Amino acid sequence: MQIIDGKKRAAELRKHYEKAVQKLKDQNIQPKMQVITVGDDPASQVYVGQKEKMAKRIGFDFDWQKLDEKSTQEELMHLIQQTNEDPSIHGVIVQLPLPDHLDSQKVMDGIDPKKDIDGFHPYNVGRLMLGDDTLVPCTPRGILNLLDEYNVTIPGADVAIIGRSKIVGQPLANLLINRGATVSVLASRTKDVKYYTKNADIVIVAVGKAHLIDKSHLKEGAVVIDVGINRLDNGKLAGDVDFESAKQVASAMTPVPGGVGPMTVAMLMEQAIICACQQNNLDATALLKEAMDE
């Protein structure tokens, strides 16, 4: 079985992104992203720290705006509007989850879609549905990048996605459909999960339940992408897939940790570069290709 190494792929991409950012700097464009957090959610602090580390490493300016947990919707929206109007900021993230008294969808709607490096704005979601996947949620984009890097055939493939969240399952289904796959999206009310997974060439699991899927769910030679990350009672991390069981039949699989997670952060950087290019009337595809060919 082949390990689909997201950590290794993300490290390779980081080197390309460093070159891409330098090309922007050579044209007097200093890319900058801003992250807004509300409150002190421990997981959010870790995630933003990871984003800050990678952003600075590839040459981005990084601004972290920390709002008090009791901040109002109006205060948050005012900060987003300031960010939208600041030409020096090319990409913005409002780190989720937000405190319960804040309307997350209103927040996503308020971000300038041209600066929406998370890919959550309704405009960008609509573009994805139409086949224009320029800015999309970063975890699905990272999964697609891994499948391509490891030469997994997508056109004509039968794919089972377990989990239909708006952040992973639904946008990933659209990305794969746009690439010619036949996709089944499974959820808690799906009557017979194994009916779909046993017939799938690619199985992608994004539920948040440790060891939900094992070899009995898979056909021989399936490619397995595990998006879940769960902490067990012994303190260790585990995916939604029982790795030791599934590896007996899978042809390729992502580990947890070190699989999809690093790719999510990498794709955030790529989309920030795309936004910086678009806001300066540059061809992002050409610039990234040139950086990757060097």
List the catalytic residue out of 5, 32, 95, 170: 95
Which residue from 23, 9, 52, 289 is spatially nearest to 141, judged by alpha carbons?
A: 9
Q: How far apart are CA 187 and CA 185, in angstroms?
A: 7
- Is 51 catalytic? The answer is yes
44 annotated to a ligand binding site? no
229 is in an annotated binding site: yes
Catalytic residue of the set 5, 112, 116, 118: 118
164 labelled as ligand-binding? yes
| C-alpha distances in Å from residue 179, one per residue of 133, 138, 230 | 11, 17, 30
Which sign, positive or negative, has the C-alpha torsion 265, 177, 121, 239?
negative
Identity of residue 166: K
Active site residue 95: yes
Nearest to 176 by CA among 160, 194, 195, 198: 160
Annotated catalytic residue, options 23, 32, 34, 51: 51
Q: Is 118 a catalytic residue?
A: yes
For residue 43, the SS3 value is helix
Kind and range of the H or E element at 23? Answer: helix 6-25
End-to-end CA distance of the chain, in Å?
A: 31
Annotation: binding site? 163-165, 229
Annotation: binding site for NADP(+)? 163-165, 229
**Residues belonging to the active site:** 51, 95, 118
